[in-house]
Chain A
Amino acid sequence: MTTLDIKRSGRHQAANAPAWARAVLEAFRAEDIRNLVFLPDTVMGRLLALAEADAQHFFRLVSVHREEEAVGILAGLFMGGQRGAMLVQSSGLGNALNALGSLAMAYHIPFPLLVSLRGELGEFNPAQLHMGRAVPGCLDALYIPHVTLRGTDDLETILSGALKTCFTTEGPFGILLSAQLTGWKPEA
């Protein structure tokens, strides 16, 4: 697969949203996951643009200034009776580790934890390598289950299955987006 033509400036267009983004939002809709709590990166930006353009206005986008905040907001949403998802880059997962352990895991707060993976395939930025490749290990260390999406085969099955397990487990569930699925930028 070749590098994806990702816009370097301007907003993402919902009409150009990739198939994986549509599949994620449909899986969320089926599980009544309406709050998308995010700090954007270029990959998530494409999914968020699609969510914003939703004809039924099903999704509420909640932006944070540091990814750790998303864990607290999702805890408040869940205890208040609403489901949500956390959308961050691998770097952002690093910023959220203690809250994931001491709040989400300890207090049994379920939500899908979407992580776009830097530092794996096609990485141009040397500073992204370390937290990027640490993602699976960090989740394992916290006993947070996770799946990695690498292609569009069985996407709907994996997504719906992961979400079902998430709410049965009553904790965060990692859905890791490989650059094999989402593409990568050749340079900044």
Chain B
Amino acid sequence: MERLEATRAAVELAGESPIVGGVGNSTFDLVACDRPRHFYMWNSMGMASSIALGLALARPDLRVVVLDGDGSILMNLGSLATQRTAGVENLVHVIWDNGGWEITGGQPAGSPFGIDLETVARGCGFPRTATVSELDEFRRVFAEAIADTQHAWVIVGRVARGDSPYRPSKSCIGLRDRFMVALAGSS
């Protein structure tokens, strides 16, 4: 499926959930559907899952969504174990699997070498996981994950290669403030 279409579906179905984007194209496609309750990183690759955990801990009343890249989660694979250790269930972690590092020139990583991120998540103890390849499948599974407030979810979404033309603001402090105001206003 196309990452931009799947991102639009996730934003539509996420309701009031804050959404953390992974570095690079995961964030850029999220910018295409911009909302104040999106957090965009310009660097610190791998930190999207950790930021999401901190948010989930601070705001147990919210269901936190991450739209992460396969390269990003591979850089911080231990964070899946950390999420389970922390015991949060208010997390829906989507990993866009396009088989590599997109923005740097399409070098292969992860699934082309047989790495199965859903199995990694299962091995870390995530109670609900799925791998989807088609948009309608993704919509169904993601909606189920958002509604399932008792469990943390990891969803691996197989997406096509391709760069996103969108970019967030370069004011990091502005992005932080906008996000914090949006969070303070939601419950």
**CB <8 Å contact, B58 and A82:** yes
Chain A's closest residue to B41 (CB) is A103
- B120: chain A residues at CB < 8 Å are none
Q: How many residues of A contact B (CB 8 A)?
A: 31
Residue-by-residue, is A70-100 near B (CB-CB < 8 Å gives 1, otherwise 0)? 1111111111111010000000000000110
Chain B's closest residue to A77 (CB) is B54
**CB <8 Å contact, A69 and B52:** no
**CB <8 Å contact, A79 and B82:** no
- B42: chain A residues at CB < 8 Å are 102, 106
In the complex, what distance in Å separates the CA atom of A65 from the CA atom of B79? 7
**CB <8 Å contact, B176 and A76:** no
**CB <8 Å contact, B43 and A102:** yes
**CB <8 Å contact, A71 and B44:** yes
Q: How many residues of B contact A (CB 8 A)?
A: 35
**CB <8 Å contact, B57 and A62:** yes
B85 interface residue (CB < 8 Å to A): yes
Chain A's closest residue to B86 (CB) is A62
Chain B's closest residue to A73 (CB) is B54
Contact pick for A81, options B43, B48, B79, B183, CB 8 Å: B183
**CB <8 Å contact, B183 and A80:** yes
> Which of A65, A76, A77, A108 gathers the greatest number of chain B CB atoms within 10 Å?
A76
- B39: chain A residues at CB < 8 Å are 79
**CB <8 Å contact, B43 and A75:** no
- B79: chain A residues at CB < 8 Å are 65, 69, 72
A35 interface residue (CB < 8 Å to B): yes
**A-contacting residues, B168-183, CB 8 Å:** 172-173, 175-176, 179-180, 183
The majority secondary structure among interface residues of chain B is: helix
B127 interface residue (CB < 8 Å to A): no
Contact pick for B47, options A78, A82, A99, CB 8 Å: A99
**CB <8 Å contact, A60 and B184:** no
**CB <8 Å contact, A98 and B50:** no
- B155: chain A residues at CB < 8 Å are none
Q: How far is the CB of B28 from chain A (nearest CB, A)?
A: 17
**CB <8 Å contact, A73 and B76:** no
In the complex, what distance in Å separates the CA atom of A60 from the CA atom of B86? 10
- A69: chain B residues at CB < 8 Å are 47, 50, 76, 78-79, 82
B51 interface residue (CB < 8 Å to A): yes
Known interface pairs A63-B85, A107-B175. Does A80 touch B55 (Cβ–Cβ under 8 Å)? Answer: yes
A138 interface residue (CB < 8 Å to B): no
Contact pick for B44, options A65, A73, A81, A98, CB 8 Å: A98
**CB <8 Å contact, B50 and A79:** no
Q: 13 more A-B contacts (CB under 8 A) besides A79-B51, A102-B43?
A: A63-B82, A65-B85, A69-B50, A72-B53, A74-B54, A76-B53, A76-B55, A78-B54, A79-B39, A79-B54, A79-B180, A98-B43, A103-B43
Contacts A/B (CB < 8 Å), 27 sampled: A64-B78, A65-B78, A69-B78, A69-B82, A72-B49, A72-B50, A72-B54, A73-B50, A75-B50, A75-B54, A76-B20, A76-B52, A76-B56, A76-B58, A77-B55, A77-B57, A79-B54, A79-B55, A79-B58, A80-B58, A81-B58, A81-B180, A102-B43, A102-B44, A103-B44, A106-B172, A108-B172
